[in-house]
Amino acid sequence: MSNIGSYDERYRDFDWSRAEEDLSWDDGGMINIGYLCSDRNCELGLADKTALIWESFSGQEKRYSFNDIRIYSNSFAKFFRDLGIEPGERICIFLDKIPALYIGLLGVLKMGAIVQPLFSAFGEDALFTRLEDAGTEAILTSRKHIGKVRRIRDKLKALEHVVVVDGEGMELSDGEVAFDFEKAEAVERFDVYQVSPETPSLLHYTSGTTGKPKGALHVHHSILGQYMTTKWVLDLLAEDIYWCTADPGWVTGTSYGIIGPWSLGITQLVLEMGFIPARWYQAIEKYKVTVFYTAPTAIRMLMKEGEELVKKYDLSSLRHTASVGEPLNAEAVIWSEEVMGLPFHDNYWQTETGCIVIANYPGMKIRPGSMGKPFPGITATVVDPTEYKPIEKVGSVGLIALKPGWPSMFRTYWNNQETYDSKFKNGWYICGDRASIDEDGYFWFVGRDDDVINTAGHLVGPFEIESALLEHPAIAESAAIGKPDPVNMEVVKAFIALKPGHEPSDELKLSIINFVRKKLSPLAMPQEIEFRESLPKTRSGKIMRRLLKAQETGEEIGDISTLEDD
């Protein structure tokens, strides 16, 4: 029997107060996420239980109990407080998947500051844009990444502290300080900052079609959504060994790689290493992983590696598998059931929703290729794109829309209330994705409603890529689109018109892709470049990205005069 039991019954009777009771909020319990994921587990008798099993790139293994997590997160909290960071100020965590990231995040929350997690592969321009927008006061990083911070530091007026987790023994500049949490003073007791449900907790940046990336602000109340969905969608039980492969630089890695499992007192595995099929299978076998949450791109790459590799490993410990990030194709669901003995349960949500909102549930029949049904407590539909009214006709494509009010919904975009407001139409939050709903209420993803590129489950903004491309000395005009890709769903393709005096060449292509990779990230780096004499434009001079995409995918373009008027 799964945790959720009967989906229909749960959906019918659900109230978020159920999560409040589970987390003891109804008894006046503390609601700080940092406390709930560490101290509370110890108070419930789990102090000696393993909270984190971590394996480094080189295969070195470390284990931390919930009591370790409690004490070390206290150390982080005290350290930041002693630095003079005030509650509500932003502390960026810019680290690879190492223990300091996971424990440091709880420490920041415990002292009342806002965590700004950023993907450690971001280049200096991507980092600068996000730190500048957030007015970040401190950044927690490592030797490996400090060069990027140093090169932009002078331009960041608010950034006062650079904390280097492995900085002991290295030459540090003004404002840089080394902090090794395992060598620091063990802080047995820390006066956790008392938050209200609406106190900001995390600031996750996400990309849009236009403008700079936007910081989706979440609050401590969000834990109700993360707790409940982890329990019912990921179906975690006390004895589970859970593995979420997401990087906490992105929202899945914080909601389901830290907050969800630890609010339930679950042991979780973290591999520093990225995707390497044999090592992943090896990890499932070695650590006897029972619940596995990953991304469709990874599943498709496992499929590519074939059945022979799977057979070399004992994956019999697995009892539940799930995926998120982009639509999971039906073939992947069928393959996993045939080869691994378990179908992946796809689910849907986004940075702004904070938690899973549509899912395939354990115990419920999966329809391969479908995102599933709305989570209890979530009212979801598809609406038409003009009046934003729910579409009644079964199977019609519309915009995915959610009724606002669930606990983990974002509360604003940092410094950008106007864009936040624009996301709400006719009383619905509009997700920006298109889908249809079948006769039984299952949602079927169709595509995005904007030009944002979804590559390997990560959203990349075309505007940010185009802006970076224009900084290259040879480039006069640029456009970035998502080119369909069988493994990554989409990859970035750039169309480029060169400045006079520059000629297309393979050397120039390499120079351009490395230029973008270093400025933004490997995800934003064009995997393909096409040189053109000039790029198609609207009458007002805007480059017609959608026309380029239609040409690329062979879609019917139709009358381009409407595009020209955009």
Partner 1 sequence: MDAEMKDVILEYVREEYLDEDSGIEVDENTPLITGGLVDSFSLVSLLMFLRQKYNANIPDQEAIPETFDTVTNIMKLVERYRQDK
Q: How far is the CB of 69 from partner 1 (least distance, A)?
A: 24
If you search the block for the tokens 């970040």, which residue do you land on? Answer: 136
Angle at 438 between CA 437 and CA 439, to 5 degrees: 130
Contact set for partner 1, span 217-276 (CB under 8 A): 272-276
178: contact with partner 1 by CB under 8 A: no
- Name the token pair of 295: 């991304």
Please choose, out of 65-73, 192-200, 466-474, 518-526, the segment that lies near partner 1 by the rule CB under 8 A. Answer: 518-526
Which tokens belong to 212? 């700079």
Q: Letter for the amino acid at 480?
A: A
- The residue count for binding partner 1 (CB under 8 A) is 32
177 binds partner 1 (CB under 8 A): no
Q: Which of 17, 21, 63, 150 binds partner 1 (CB under 8 A)?
A: 150
**Whether 401 contacts 433, CB under 8 Å:** no
Q: Which of 270, 249, 268 is nearest to 260 (CA)?
A: 268
Of 518, 473, 464, residue with least CA distance to 494:
464
Categorise residue 119: left if φ over 0, alpha if ψ from -120 to 50, beta otherwise.
beta
Q: Which is nearer to partner 1, 70 or 519 (CB)?
A: 519
Task: Please say whether the beta carbons of 279 and 252 come within 8 A.
Answer: no
Residue 542 lies near partner 1 (rule: CB under 8 A): no
- Cβ neighbours for 370, distance < 8 A, ≥ 6 positions apart: 346, 360, 438, 442, 443, 444
Going by their DSSP bridges, the two strands 344-348 and 358-359 should be labelled as antiparallel
From CA 139, how far away is CA 95, in angstroms rounded? 10
- Beta carbon nearer to partner 1, 238 or 510: 510
Q: What is the closest distance, in whole angstroms, from the C-beta atom of residue 328 to partner 1 in the complex? A: 19
**Contact set for partner 1, span 374-403 (CB under 8 A):** none
Spell out the residues 6+ positions from residue 63 whose beta carbon is closer than 8 angstroms to its own: 50, 52, 53, 54
Q: How far is the CB of 147 from partner 1 (least distance, A)?
A: 3
Q: What SS3 class is residue 522?
A: coil
* 513 contributes a contact to partner 1 by CB under 8 A: yes
CB of 105 to partner 1, least distance (A): 20
Out of 58, 60, 386, 540, name the contact with partner 1 by CB under 8 A.
Answer: 58
The one among 30, 146, 382, 548 contacting partner 1 by CB under 8 A: 146
Q: CB 516 → partner 1: shortest distance, Å? A: 10
Residues 108-137 that bind partner 1 (CB under 8 A): 121
| 279 touches partner 1 by CB under 8 A | yes
Pairing state of beta strands 291-294 and 458-460?
unpaired
Is 143 among the residues that bind partner 1 (CB under 8 A)? yes
CA distance 178 to 102: 18
Q: Does 510 bind partner 1 (CB under 8 A)?
A: yes
**Which stretch in 131-139, 287-295, 338-346, 523-531 sits in contact with partner 1 by CB under 8 A?**
523-531
The correct pick among 44, 170, 238, 470 for binding partner 1 (CB under 8 A) is 170
How far apart (Å, rounded) are the C-alpha atoms in residues 342 and 335? 9
Q: Is 144 in the site for partner 1 (CB under 8 A)?
A: yes
Check binding of 145 to partner 1 (CB under 8 A): yes
Applying CB under 8 A, among 282, 522, 531, 550 the residue interacting with partner 1 is 522
Nearer to partner 1, 143 or 311 (CB): 143
- φ/ψ of residue 290, rounded to 5: -105, -35
57 vs 424 by CB, closer to partner 1: 57
CB of 489 to partner 1, least distance (A): 13
Of 522, 457, 517, 455, the closest CA to residue 491 belongs to 455
Residue numbers 303-322 binding partner 1 by CB under 8 A? none
Angle at 275 between CA 269 and CA 279, to 5 degrees: 65
The answer to whether residue 417 forms part of the interface with partner 1 (CB under 8 A) is: no
Binding site for partner 1 (CB under 8 A): 57-58, 96, 121, 143-148, 150, 170, 272-276, 278-279, 456, 506-507, 509-510, 513-514, 517-518, 522-523, 525, 527
